[in-house]
Each structure stands twice: as C-alpha cells, then as structure tokens.
Amino acid sequence: MQQIMKKVLGIDEAGRGPVIGPMVMAGVMIKEGEEYLLEGSKDSKKLSHIKRIELDKKIKNNSVYKIIEINPEEIDNAVNSKKMNLNWLEAHKQAEIINFLKPDKAIIDCPSPNCKAYEKYLLELLENKDIKLIVEHKADEKYITSSAASIIAKVRREEIMDNIKKKYGDTGPGYPSNETTKKFVDENWSKYPEIFRKSWSTFKKKLKNDRQNKLF
C-alpha cells in the first residue's frame, strides 16, 4: 500500500517593522520529504538581494504558495483596535493561508512572546482543528519551508517598495531607523498618507509636532 505523503506548510512575513509600505505574509507548501526542492533557502535577512530573487523563482517553481499583502491602513486599524493588535492580525492572515492551502502540518514563525497562547488563538481561526501546528520563535532559521516563505515574502515586499520609490521618491527601505527613510518621512509625511503606517511612533511624532506648531 502506497504511503500518502503529508503536505507541510511554512509561513513567514516580511516588513513587520517599517513605517512605510505593507507587511507581506507568505506560505510555502511541499510534500514531506521533498525539502531538497527548496535547497539553498534560509532566513531571508541572511541572503543578498540577488540570491533572494534567484531562490524566489526556484521556490515558486517547486512548491504551492500563497502571498498576502497587508496594507498600512489595515495594519493601523489592527494596532488602534481594542480587540486586535499586530500579532493577532498576523494570526488571521496565517489562518487565511492555512485554510486556503489545507496542509497537514503548518510551521509558524511566532511573533508573540507566548507561543502557546498564540497557537491557541490561531487554532480557533482554522477550519481543520486536527492540523499539526509547530509554532516557534525564529522558525525561519530552523525549518526550510519557513525560510522559503520568508524569501518570497521579502522579494514581494522589495518589489512593492521599488514601485513606491518610482512613484513617490527615495523612501529608503522604510524602516524608522534608516537615515534615508527618516528624511523621507520628515519631508513627505503629510503628502502621501496612503503609504505610511500612521499608528507608528515615527508618524505620530510628526503629527504631534505639526499640531503644536499650528497652535503656536
């Protein structure tokens, strides 16, 4: 009797911290035992841009995948909500990917300090309650499917940021600590509200200073 190979899904995100642009969530699914098809995949932060693009093509050719883009407005709504937060928003997007791809096992890079509570919350959102969940910190460093997901999420995020730069000017990578991004926020925070996460302290500070200046 032929053994049925289980479907293994890895999920990760790119762009959780930036003040500019979306967060991108990706899921990559293969059959158990076929990890060799994703050979070369590792935490996207440890790869060059050229290598990520090369692996992005390889991963997409050898797996079933899904990518979700979460725009700044949706992020702000979650952060400002009394019932939601950024972690729970991630759980809802992960559940969307799991429910769509229907794996036997899902590996999650946990954004919360409490992995057990996060796993419980995520399970409530899933159609298949019998799924095996592996919810760990830094899963993208331990499991190749999660590494692959981090790569295709990062490549998509970079594509979106390139389009934003073409339309609005040099934003830098979008992270608040980056000098180019800081300069762009200083000069453009009120011009292009659609690309900024207004719930971020970097943006709030600009808004507060502007209101104070108007008062005086």
The answer to whether the predicted template modeling score (pTM) of the entire model surpasses 0.75 is: yes
Computed from CA positions of residues 149, 155, 158, 163, in that sequence, does the dihedral angle turn out positive or negative?
A: negative
Strands in 87-141 per DSSP E: 105-109, 132-136
Neighbours of 170 (CB within 10 A): 10
Question: Where do the H-state alpha helices sit in the chain?
Answer: 49-61, 72-80, 86-101, 115-124, 139-142, 144-168, 179-188, 201-215
| Residue 74: both structure tokens together | 């949706």
Q: How far is CA 23 from CA 34, 154, 155, 158, in A?
A: 29, 9, 12, 11
| Residue 86: both structure tokens together | 């950024």
Angle between helix axes 179-188 and 201-215 (nearest 10 degrees) is: 40
Tens digits of pLDDT across the chain (216 residues): 445 789 999 999 999 999 999 999 999 999 999 999 999 998 888 899 999 999 999 999 999 999 999 999 999 999 999 999 999 999 999 999 999 999 999 999 999 999 999 999 999 999 999 999 999 999 999 999 999 999 999 999 999 999 999 999 999 999 999 999 999 999 999 999 999 999 999 898 887 776 665 555
* CB of 105 closer than 8 Å to CB of 7: yes
* Per-residue pLDDT, 30: 98
What residues contact residue 190 under an 8 Å CB cut-off, 6+ apart? 206, 210
User: How many Å apart are CA 103 and CA 85, to the nearest integer?
Assistant: 26
**Ranges of each domain in the chain:** 7-169
**Residue 25, beta-bridge partner list:** 13, 68
Kind of pairing, strands 105-109 and 64-70?
A: unpaired
CA angle centred on 158, ends 155 and 159, rounded to 5°: 85
CATH of domain 7-169: 3.30.420.10
* Per-residue pLDDT, 1: 43
* Per-residue pLDDT, 212: 60
Length of the chain (residues): 216
3-class SS of residue 196: strand
* Per-residue pLDDT, 214: 58
Secondary structure element (H or E) that encloses residue 25, with its range: strand 23-31
Q: Residue 191 gets which letter from DSSP?
A: T
